[in-house]
Amino acid sequence: MQVILLPALSDNYIFLLHNPKQNVAAVVDPAEAQPVLRRLEELGAELVMIFNTHHHMDHVGGNRELIEHFPNVYVCGSAQDKGRIPGQQVFLQEGDQVEFTDRIGEVIFVPGHTSGHIAYYFFPRVEGETGDLFCGDTLFAGGCGRLFEGTPAQMVDSLSKLRALPDNTRVWCAHEYTLKNLQFALTVDQENLDLQTRYTEVQEARRRLEATIPSQLGIEKRTNPFLRWEQPALQSAVKATEPVQTFARLRGMKDRF
C-alpha cells in the first residue's frame, strides 16, 4: 500500500492509499475532490473506499463529488457521526476492522476534537514493519486538536490509546501545523533537547516547502507536550499536579497562543 500525500485547501492533507498491483485506491479525509480525481486519473486507478475520521467539512467536503465519479465507492465513518458524513454507508465503532486490499486497519474511537472522531491504524503486514495511523485532527505533529465537542479527560484517554501504538508507527495527521505547534511546545518544554533539535529540522523543512507529515510516534512521545502530560517539567510549567489538569491547561494555553 502506497500512501500519497495530497495538499488541499490552505493547510490540509488528503491521503490517497494506492495498491498498484490491483490499481485500486482508497482516500482518507477528502477535504475536496479535485486533487483526488487528478491523481486517480494519473494513476488510472479506481476509488473503492473513503475513510472519514470525523464530520468536519475540511475532511468530508469532497465526498459527494467523489461518489458521483465512483458510485460504487464505500464511505466509512464513525457510527457516532451518522447523519453528519455525506454518503456514509459504513458505521464504525471501537475495535472494528476495515480492509483495503492487503492491509487491515483497526478502528480506534478517539473523541475529544469531536464527539464521534475515530482513527484508523493499519497494521504492518509482517512483524517488524511499520504501521500507519490516520488520526485526523486528534493528534498532530507536535500538537493535538482543539476540543470542540469533547472534554480534556476524553482527549487524554483518546491520546493515551494512540500513544500506546508502536514507536515506529507513521503518523498521518491532516494539517500542516507542525512549525507553530513546536513553537508553542518550546514555551512550556524549553529544556527538551529532542524538541529543540526537531524544531530546527522542521524550520529547515518548511523553508524548503517540504511537508512535515508523516511524523513518527516515537518522536511525538519525546517532543509533543500533548503526549507528555505526566512529565514533571510540563506540570511545573502549567502549575498542575495531575495529567488531565496538565493537559487541560496546556490546551488552554495553546488555544490562546
Known catalytic residues are 54, 56, 58-59, 113, 137, 175
* Phi, psi for residue 31 in degrees, rounded to 5: -60, -35
Q: How large is the C-alpha radius of gyration of the chain?
A: 18
Vertex 245: Cα angle to 244 and 246 (nearest 5): 90
Closest C-alpha among 50, 48, 11, 46 to residue 30 = 50
Cell numbers at 107, concatenated: 478502528
The count of other CB atoms within 10 Å of the CB of residue 231 is: 16
Cβ neighbors of 253 (< 8 A, separation 6 or more) are 184, 187, 188, 238
CB 138 within 8 A of CB 145: yes
Please give the C-alpha separations between residue 166 and each of 58, 99, 114, 170, 221, in angstroms, as whole numbers.
28, 20, 25, 9, 11
Cell numbers at 163, concatenated: 500513544
Closest C-alpha among 1, 2, 6 to residue 174 = 6
* 45, 97, 94, 67: CA torsion to nearest 10: 30
Greatest CA separation found in the chain? 56
CB 73 within 8 A of CB 17: no
